[in-house]
Structure formats: C-alpha cells, structure tokens
Structure 1
Amino acid sequence: MEGQASDQARVYQAGRDMRLFTLAVPPGVRTPLLVVLVLALLAGGGWVLVKWVRPMFAPAYKTQFLIDTSLASGGPAEVAESLRKAVGNAADDDALALRGFGGECGAEGNTRQLVGFGTGNREQISRTVGQVRGEGRPTMVRGIGEAVNDFSKRLAWGADQRATRINRIIVITRHGTDACEEDPATVQREIARRIESAGLKVDFKVIGYQVPAAERERLRQISAGIRGDAPVFAADPARLAAALEWFTNTQPVLQEAKKVTDVLNPAVGQVEAARTAIEDGRLDAAGDRLERAGSVDVGATLGALKDRARTPQARDVHAKARRLSSQQRRVVESGRALLEASRDGGSRDGEFAAYRTAVVTYNQQADELKKALDTLRATAPGGRS
C-alpha cells in the first residue's frame, strides 16, 4: 500500500499543509499526460495570441498600390515620381504594399507583388517603383484579383493582418481595357467574385493616367464592377501626383477629422440637454447627461490625425481638432459648475455666463474646423482630366 501510495502523484492547492484533493496517475501515463497538457497550454496561448494579441498591432490603414507595368503603358518615371511623393507623406503606421500588372494572358507572372505589406517600407516602395520596366499587355483584372487576395493571407505575423479601419487598393493605369477580357460584364463578374470569395471589404480608388478617350467608358465600367468610385482621369504628371496624394493621405485626414467631430459635437449636445434639465429642475437627469458628455475620448483619433499631419493643411486641421477637443472639455466643466451651483440653491448667474461663453467659443472653433475641412475637400481631384 505504501509503495502504491508512493507511485501516486498528489496535487495540492498552494498553501501550507492544506490538502485540497489527490489525483492518482499511473507512472506510465505521467509523461504522455504532461506532453498533452503542455501542448494544450501552447495551443491555448496561440489562440489567445491570434485572437487578442495580433489585432492590437494591426494597422488602421492598409493600402496596396496597383500599377500598370505593361509595355505600352509609358511614362514610368512620371508614375514613379508621383508615387514616391504620396508614399513619402503617408503615416508611419500605414501598412503599404506595391503590386504591378502587365504580361501575357494566362501567364503566371502577369501580375506580381513587388513589395509586400509593411509599415516601414516607404523607401523600399520608392526605390522599387523607380526600377519598374514595362512588359507585356495590360492584365488589369488579374492584377485586381490578386491584389484582393493579398489582403486575405493570414499565415504571416503582423504584416498581412487586415486593417482595423480601411483596406484600400489604389489602381494607377494607362488603359481602360483589359487585354485578356473583352466583355465588360465578364470583367465585372470576375472581379466581384474574387472580392466576395475573399470575404472582406476593400475600398477601390482608380486613377486613369493619360487613358485614351475611347477607353474611358470601359474603365468607368470596371471601376463600377469593383464597387469603386468613379475613376479620376489625370492628363499630366501634376494631376497624377495630386490624385495620388489625395487618395493616399488627404482623404484619411478628412476621415479622421470627421471622427473627431462626430464624437465631440453630440457630446456638447448632451451638455446643452443637461443645461435644459437644470432649468427644469431635473438635476439628476442633468448629472447623467454630463457624465456621458465627460466620458468621451478622442485621444486615439487625434493621435492618428497628428501622425498624418505631413502637409501645412493637414497640420492646421489637426491643430484645430485638438483645440476643439480641449474646448469640449471646458464646456463639460462649465456645465458641471452650473449643476453644482443649482444644487447649492444660490445664485448661478456667474456659472451660467461662463457656460454660455464656453459654448459660444466651442461653436466658433467648430465652424473654423469645418471651414478648414471644406477647403481640404475642395482639393479633391474629382473627374478632372
């Protein structure tokens, strides 16, 4: 009996002389059981790593530039220079990649990812795009399909994660047609099939650089087929550079700034509702609204906006958004002071005047930010040719 007992593995709860339970494990089973337990812990840790840790490091924006490298495209130096400028102004946390399309129909290499996704590869993209040489015919449809597939890869660490905010493909093409697909309806169906099979949302931006007039309608059909905006047609290097800068950097600035106002403006509305409740004598309701208004936080969005502030206009937008956030906090503080004065039952004239001043100042700053954003929106390339 004693020998048998000595062969038993006893498990105790940590604690001095406090036996919780005893588990008998035969000697021959101990090692396999230990291996299984270790593997289970590793598997569980891996699941936690994939489900919870990796998303913490996912980029907010993930952008792949898809460029026409076919022999007839021409103007590679102009595309390279425009792309270098846009990439140079991109946020440090943007995950960028570069893919080209051009070759022979059915050939394996008629589209290639030239630079994989990464957050520190701006110089690599700038260097690589300058080395591109034209070859073959435009194989745009396959290029788009493979560019979509690049977003759905899940095996590598970090770089291939889907973005937390926006996945984008920016197409720069000299053609409105695909050399291997003549029927526009077939092109649309093929692209739509690839997008749906990937199971993710991708924003498409299409820039037609010096696309012949006869091919523009076909490019519009392709853009519609991939659920993108109407293509932008650029007739010269300056307009090409402006379009690339707009899609790569200016649009994200506008989107982040809108997130700030979408949070702050309703919060100030809550404070104004609290002021009305105070006047009606509903002090508890006013306190609840002030609590909600004071709990909003746009710090992360302001940080993202600051990272994108690479141009004077973007820096101005960030500065105005930061001031607006500070003023929103002053509105909340003045609302709380008004509530406390009302609870004390004394005069609240001073607190009310301070509150009105804070609100008026906030509205003025909100108008200034809106004007700055409207000015930035006015630089959109639209359908210029």
Structure 2
Amino acid sequence: MNRRVLVPLVVVLVAAACVAGYVFVLAAPDYRTAVLVDASAPGTGLDEVAGAVRSVAGNSGDSDALSLRRFGGECGSPDNSVEIADSPAEIAEAVGALTPSGKATMVDGVMAAIDGFSGLLKRRGSVRNRIVVVSTSGLDACTGDPSRARRAIDDRLAEEGLDLDIRIVGYRVPKDRQERLTQFGGADDTAFADSAADLAIVLDQLVVPDSPEASPISAPAPQPEPGYAFTTLDRMGIVRGTEVVAEVAGDFTTGGPDYTRDGHFAFAVTPAGVATIDVRSGADRVVPCGGCFDAVATADSVISWLAGNVVTTLDLADAAARPEPGVTVLPDRQVDEANRVLPLRILASQDGKTLVDAPDGVSAYGGGAENLYLVGSGGDVVSVGTAQGNVAISGATFSPDGRTVAYVAAGHAGACETRSSVVLIDLDTGVHTETPTVGDATDEGSGIRDLWYDQDGDLNMIYTSWRCDASGGPIVSVTLPEGRWRLGSSGWTRGEGDSDGNAREVAPGFRAVLVSPGQEALGNELYSEVDGDRTKVADDVLYIAVPD
C-alpha cells in the first residue's frame, strides 16, 4: 500500500479507537449490580422474591447498570446459572417468568456472576460493583463447606483483580440453615428477611444507589407469628394466634399431628398417605407411603416411616424428592394366633437414630408392643430390650441429648382398667426404668395423651386417672383431671396452671388448650389462650402439636 495512503489511515484508526475508548469510559455506569436469585426447587417464596426484585428494578435510575441472573440446576452443569435480564426495564418481565428447578447451585452462580465483571471490555461501575445473592434454600447443594467455598470465591476475585462486593440475603431460610449461609457471606454482609416487605427493604438498600448504604447489612428479621397444629377426625389445621390459617381434609383417626424438626411442615398419617401442610405458605399435599401406620420427624424437613420393614425417608422441603428406602431391613413381621400380620411400628427418630417396635405375637390386645430396636443411620440395628405392659406403645420421644428414650407403657386388664406409666430407656446401657406413679394407688385406670421433652430438657406428659364401677365397666369418677405434669428429681409434679386440661405452650403468654365438653364427647373444644384470654378455635379436636 502506498505510504501516503497508509499514514492517514493509521491516524484515522487511532483516532477512532480513542473516540471509542472515550465513549466507552463515558458510558460506564457509576453503579453496577448483578442480582442473583435462587430458582432451585422447590421454589419456596420465589413469587415474593420476584415481587421484591421487580420493585427494586422500578426504583433504579436509568443510568444504573442492573442485571438479573438465576441459579438452580445440576452441580457443575454450565447452564445451572444464566443471566436472564441486563437492564432494569427487562427485569420486570424476566423475573416473573422464573420457575423453580434443580438443586441450589449458589456457588456456581456467584462464579458465573463474577465473569460478568471480568475482562477489559466489561462495563464495570466507576463507584461500586456488587453481586446481591437472594437465597431461599440457605445451602449450596454442591459443597458441604461454606467457608471453603467462600475462600474459592475470594481467590477468584483476587485473580481477576476485582474490587467487588458480595452481599447475601436469606429469604425465609430455616433457622438451622442460617449459620451456614452466614459462614459463606460473612456476618456483616449477610441478612435474613421473613416477609416480602422486609425483603424489598433490604434489596432497596443494596441495589438502589440513593438508598441508605447497608454495610454492615441492617435488616429487620421478625419472627413468624407463633402457631400450632391440630387434628379432628376429618381434617388437620394450622392455627396462627386465634385463626385457622390452613387446613387439609382427610381421615385422621389413626393419630395426631407432628412438626418437622425445623418447624417448616406439619404432618399426620392418613390411609391415603402422609398429609402435610407447609406452615409458611399454607400449601398442602398427601405423600403416598404404602399404607404406613406412623411417620416421625427425623432432621430438618425430613420425615421417616416404615415401608414394610425398611425405614424410608423423605425431605418435604424438596418438592422433587422421592421417598428413599434405607439400607436397614428390620426383623420380619410376626403373625398372631388369628393369622393376622402384626406390623412393625416406627416410634421416634433423632440424630440418625430411629426407635422401632416389633410385636411378638403373644401379648394381649392386638399383640402389644414388645421388642424394641434402635436403627442407626449407617444401617445397624441394636436391640434395646422389651417394652413393659401388654398394650401397644402410644407415644415415645428422645431426650434433647439423644441418650434417653421415654415411652408410654400400659397394662390392660378390662374395659376400664388400663394403667399407664412412662418408662425411660438409657440408650448407653439398655436399662428400662419406670418413672414414679402418679395419682392414688387405688385408681383403676390412667391414661397419657401426650409425651414430650421441652426446650429446657424436661420431660412432660398429659395425664389423667379414674376409678371404675364395681363391675369394671365405664368410668364413674375422674380422680385426676387431665393436665400437664413435669418429671423432676423427686418424681412427677404439676405447676400452677398445669391442671387445666391438655395445654401446650406455643410461646410465652400463648397456649393451645383442649377442654373436654363432657365424658361422652369424643373430641375436645380447642382454645387459643393469649395472656390469659381464651378464644375458641374449633370443636371435636382430638390432638394438638407444637413445633420444637
């Protein structure tokens, strides 16, 4: 090429490059923020998250660079985090189309978001660059070490030479998962919100430049209103304060409700399966369990039941999860003299240990509950002796430290004469110790409706006793009205207010109380008692349950 032509061309190209670089610098925003949303299954609270993100996008200025990215999929998959909007105007539509799927691939999502700030031609903010992560699961499905995952993130930022804020917001994250999320985000850069309004406030602080800076993050984290569960013959309900806020219909004649360890779900067994209610959203479903008789809380949102003679588990928090049979096969079920199969029963579970009883086929009244086994999470089965009495165990519970199991034992001698007591099993020695007798020695009958350990580690029961007529027929007099008893070093005692029916403390100043309308009534009247004032909630209630 002619030199006279080449020189002007080079000048033009250099000038154009300078102009382009100048324009690029001018176009760089002051603030650039990437919002990373948890769209993993089951998608709890995703609609509220979408609303809060949509609100914050509407508050952003035209000169602010705001993008939206989702995470959720398979670990290591390149499509487990995708940018779905690159401007405030696009976010409103994109966030409304989010659907939950896959696992919580939060760390992969943060790594992918960092890529959006890397490279010479990326439009980084001149004042601040930030990734805001909104997590509803609280855990990353692909790593068990949040501190190590955060170190990997920080190493990546150092390699790229990026001055980049990473802020974490947990929305309706179960309390038992909040610590791990804080370990990943850092105590000063992690917040939790339990309502859509609180989430919108926090996101506004973190995303909109004109809002007060949140460093360290200051976020309101109100506790959800206390509640409890109840069952009648044909429904299970959730009560908040004095109102029934959610319920599911079914045949609940086989037993009462229970809560998962994290308090996220209430559940009870029906002939159709395990009926569950998400106490946060009110959503209900019935999980087939193959005709199981009982289900127990295991850990977090996981429940267990017996499918035949195999312990089976299910995580209720994962809508895509399927029941998982364990590796343990318990002893074969026995057949009684009438050729009836006597099913094994699951009684309680905690910290990877599950208590199961197996009838021996020779006890009175349907076989009773005889041989007790402790099933470990690794598949081991250990015999823990023989239950006392000749009636099936009606309740069992682990102590908070997991070293003791308490169960209800009963001896049956007639239509009215059933004596009940509480027996403790020392799981280190296998020794069974019956707790002291309650009531008059001349009482012919007694019953224990409920048995539980409270947060202080004290064992509690709901107990009543009676005397029969001369022929051993129906009850003619109640010697100890139904009330709450606590086990201390000197035996069982009742405190002030514990003799008033079947009452469970839901929160300080708030109790759920069952009151019998008369001896002939099958169910009870249910009241919410707040600061001493009672409000009737329902009739014909059989059982109540309170989250741990």
Shorter-chain TM-score category? Answer: 0.5 to 0.7
Aligned equivalent of 1:128: 94
Aligned equivalent of 1:48: 18
In the TM superposition, what is the alpha-carbon distance from 1:170 to its structure 2 partner?
1.1
Percent of matched pairs sharing the same residue: 33
Secondary structure of the residue aligned to 1:152 is coil
Q: Do the aligned residues in 2 keep the contact of 1:149 with 1:198 (CA within 8 Å)?
A: no
Aligned equivalent of 2:264: none
Is there any run of 5+ residues in structure 2 with no aligned partner, and where?
224-548
Aligned equivalent of 2:42: 72
Alignment deviations for residues 339-362 of structure 1 (CA, whole Å, 9 cap, x no partner) = xxxxxxxxxxxxxxxxxxxxxxxx
Q: Do the aligned residues in 2 keep the contact of 1:71 with 1:102 (CA within 8 Å)?
A: yes
In the TM superposition, what is the alpha-carbon distance from 1:174 to its structure 2 partner?
0.7
Structure (1/2) with the larger helix percentage: 1
State the alpha-carbon separation in 1 of the partners of residues 11 and 44 from structure 2: 57
Aligned equivalent of 1:367: none
In the TM superposition, what is the alpha-carbon distance from 1:44 to its structure 2 partner?
1.8
Alignment deviations for residues 248-274 of structure 1 (CA, whole Å, 9 cap, x no partner) = 22x63446xxxxxxxxxxxxxxxxxxx
Amino acid of the structure 2 residue aligned with 1:381? A
- Correspondences of 1:242-321 after superposition (within 5 Å): 242-249=201-208, 252-254=210-212
Secondary structure of the residue aligned to 1:232 is strand
Tell me, yes or no, if structure 1 residue 231 matches structure 2 residue 198: no
Amino acid of the structure 2 residue aligned with 1:176? G
Aligned equivalent of 1:381: 219
The structure-2 alpha-carbon separation of the partners of 1:238 and 1:383, relative to structure 1 and needing over 3 Å to count, comes to: closer
In the TM superposition, what is the alpha-carbon distance from 1:46 to its structure 2 partner?
4.4
In the TM superposition, what is the alpha-carbon distance from 1:33 to its structure 2 partner?
2.1
In the TM superposition, what is the alpha-carbon distance from 1:39 to its structure 2 partner?
4.5
Aligned equivalent of 1:104: 74
Q: Do the aligned residues in 2 keep the contact of 1:246 with 1:380 (CA within 8 Å)?
A: no
State the alpha-carbon separation in 1 of the partners of residues 212 and 194 from structure 2: 25
- Correspondences of 1:175-190 after superposition (within 5 Å): 175-190=137-152
Aligned equivalent of 1:212: 174
Aligned equivalent of 2:156: 194
Secondary structure of the residue aligned to 1:67 is strand
Tell me, yes or no, if structure 1 residue 170 matches structure 2 residue 132: yes
In the TM superposition, what is the alpha-carbon distance from 1:40 to its structure 2 partner?
2.4
Structure (1/2) with the larger strand percentage: 2
Q: Do the aligned residues in 2 keep the contact of 1:231 with 1:383 (CA within 8 Å)?
A: no
Amino acid of the structure 1 residue aligned with 2:109? G
Of the candidates 26, 44, 56, which is equivalent to residue 86 of structure 1? Answer: 56
Is there any run of 5+ residues in structure 1 with no aligned partner, and where?
1-30, 256-375
Q: Do the aligned residues in 1 keep the contact of 2:198 with 2:221 (CA within 8 Å)?
A: no
State the alpha-carbon separation in 2 of the partners of residues 254 and 241 from structure 1: 13
How many residue pairs get matched? 223
In the TM superposition, what is the alpha-carbon distance from 1:220 to its structure 2 partner?
0.8
Secondary structure of the residue aligned to 2:124 is coil
The structure-2 alpha-carbon separation of the partners of 1:129 and 1:248, relative to structure 1 and needing over 3 Å to count, comes to: same
State the alpha-carbon separation in 1 of the partners of residues 43 and 157 from structure 2: 26
The structure-2 alpha-carbon separation of the partners of 1:198 and 1:382, relative to structure 1 and needing over 3 Å to count, comes to: farther
The structure-2 alpha-carbon separation of the partners of 1:195 and 1:73, relative to structure 1 and needing over 3 Å to count, comes to: farther
Amino acid of the structure 2 residue aligned with 1:101? F
State the alpha-carbon separation in 2 of the partners of residues 173 and 53 from structure 1: 37
Secondary structure of the residue aligned to 1:151 is coil
Alignment deviations for residues 196-215 of structure 1 (CA, whole Å, 9 cap, x no partner) = 12222112221100111111
Q: Do the aligned residues in 2 keep the contact of 1:99 with 1:115 (CA within 8 Å)?
A: yes
Q: Do the aligned residues in 2 keep the contact of 1:184 with 1:222 (CA within 8 Å)?
A: yes
Alignment deviations for residues 276-314 of structure 1 (CA, whole Å, 9 cap, x no partner) = xxxxxxxxxxxxxxxxxxxxxxxxxxxxxxxxxxxxxxx
- TM-score scaled to structure 2, two decimals? 0.38
- TM-score scaled to structure 1, two decimals? 0.53
State the alpha-carbon separation in 2 of the partners of residues 211 and 96 from structure 1: 25
State the alpha-carbon separation in 2 of the partners of residues 382 and 193 from structure 1: 31
Q: Do the aligned residues in 2 keep the contact of 1:167 with 1:202 (CA within 8 Å)?
A: yes
In the TM superposition, what is the alpha-carbon distance from 1:243 to its structure 2 partner?
1.2
In the TM superposition, what is the alpha-carbon distance from 1:70 to its structure 2 partner?
0.5
State the alpha-carbon separation in 2 of the partners of residues 235 and 80 from structure 1: 15
The structure-2 alpha-carbon separation of the partners of 1:254 and 1:174, relative to structure 1 and needing over 3 Å to count, comes to: closer
In the TM superposition, what is the alpha-carbon distance from 1:169 to its structure 2 partner?
1.1
Ranked by relative contact order (alpha carbons within 8 Å, sequence separation 6 or more), the top structure is 1
Return 146-155 or 75-84, whichever deviates more: 146-155
State the alpha-carbon separation in 1 of the partners of residues 47 and 162 from structure 2: 33
State the alpha-carbon separation in 1 of the partners of residues 222 and 192 from structure 2: 6
Amino acid of the structure 2 residue aligned with 1:148? I
- Correspondences of 1:340-359 after superposition (within 5 Å): none
Tell me, yes or no, if structure 1 residue 140 matches structure 2 residue 106: yes
The structure-2 alpha-carbon separation of the partners of 1:81 and 1:36, relative to structure 1 and needing over 3 Å to count, comes to: same
Secondary structure of the residue aligned to 1:252 is coil
Tell me, yes or no, if structure 1 residue 203 matches structure 2 residue 169: no
Of the candidates 94, 109, 117, which is equivalent to residue 151 of structure 1? Answer: 117
State the alpha-carbon separation in 2 of the partners of residues 110 and 35 from structure 1: 52
Q: Do the aligned residues in 1 keep the contact of 2:43 with 2:99 (CA within 8 Å)?
A: no
Q: Do the aligned residues in 2 keep the contact of 1:246 with 1:381 (CA within 8 Å)?
A: no
The structure-2 alpha-carbon separation of the partners of 1:63 and 1:53, relative to structure 1 and needing over 3 Å to count, comes to: same
In the TM superposition, what is the alpha-carbon distance from 1:186 to its structure 2 partner?
2.3
In the TM superposition, what is the alpha-carbon distance from 1:51 to its structure 2 partner?
4.2
The structure-2 alpha-carbon separation of the partners of 1:52 and 1:103, relative to structure 1 and needing over 3 Å to count, comes to: same
Q: Do the aligned residues in 1 keep the contact of 2:198 with 2:220 (CA within 8 Å)?
A: no
Secondary structure of the residue aligned to 1:229 is helix
The structure-2 alpha-carbon separation of the partners of 1:177 and 1:45, relative to structure 1 and needing over 3 Å to count, comes to: same
The structure-2 alpha-carbon separation of the partners of 1:234 and 1:382, relative to structure 1 and needing over 3 Å to count, comes to: closer
Secondary structure of the residue aligned to 1:96 is strand
In the TM superposition, what is the alpha-carbon distance from 1:380 to its structure 2 partner?
4.5
State the alpha-carbon separation in 2 of the partners of residues 136 and 35 from structure 1: 60
